[in-house]
Structure 1
Amino acid sequence: MLLELDDQIVQSTGLSPEELRIELAVQLYKQEKLTVGQGGRMTGMGSVKFQQELGRRRISSPFTKEDLNSDLETLAGLFQ
């Protein structure tokens, strides 16, 4: 799917199309509507650079109690 925005709307933000794409991806990531991989594809940055951009903005990955428990179970299984 291609998303088109009127040039005047893009210009009114004061951002380049690339900057606007990054801002949109970051906001969707913060709302947990995009993964790092999806954000990387959306911005054309790739997941590693997108994750670096998130870090630069001090945006952490959502990490739930369930994620922690899963990681602890995985680690426990490695040492059995």
Structure 2
Amino acid sequence: MLLELDDQIIQSTGLSQEQLRVELAVQLYEQGKITVGQAGRMTSMGSIQFQQELGKRQIPSNYDKDDLDADLKTLSKLFQ
């Protein structure tokens, strides 16, 4: 799906298209609506650079016990 915004709307924000994309991704991430990976793809930054952007903004990672359990399970499979 392609999301189109009128150029006047984008201009009224005072942001470039890229900046607006980052702002949208940050807000959606903070609300728990998208993952870091999805935000990285949405912004074309990649997940590591997006995480760095979150750090600059002092936004904590949405990483909980379920995420840790999934990561540990993956690591255990890799090192068997």
Could you tell me the TM-score, scaled by structure 2's length?
0.80
- Aligned-residue CA RMSD (Å): 2.0
| CA–CA separation in structure 1 for the residues paired with 2:8 and 2:43 | 21
Structure 2 counterparts to residues 23-38 of structure 1, below 5 A: 23-38=23-38
Misfit runs of 4+, over 2 Å = 66-71
Identity %: 67
1:69/1:61 Cα in 2 relative to 1: closer, same or farther (>3 Å)? closer
Between the two proteins, the alignment pairs up a number of residues equal to 72
Q: What stretches of structure 1 of length at least 5 have no aligned partner? A: none
Could you tell me the TM-score, scaled by structure 1's length?
0.80
1:15/1:49 Cα in 2 relative to 1: closer, same or farther (>3 Å)? same
1:37/1:8 Cα in 2 relative to 1: closer, same or farther (>3 Å)? same
Q: What stretches of structure 2 of length at least 5 have no aligned partner? A: none
Report the residue type matching 1:14 in the other structure.
G
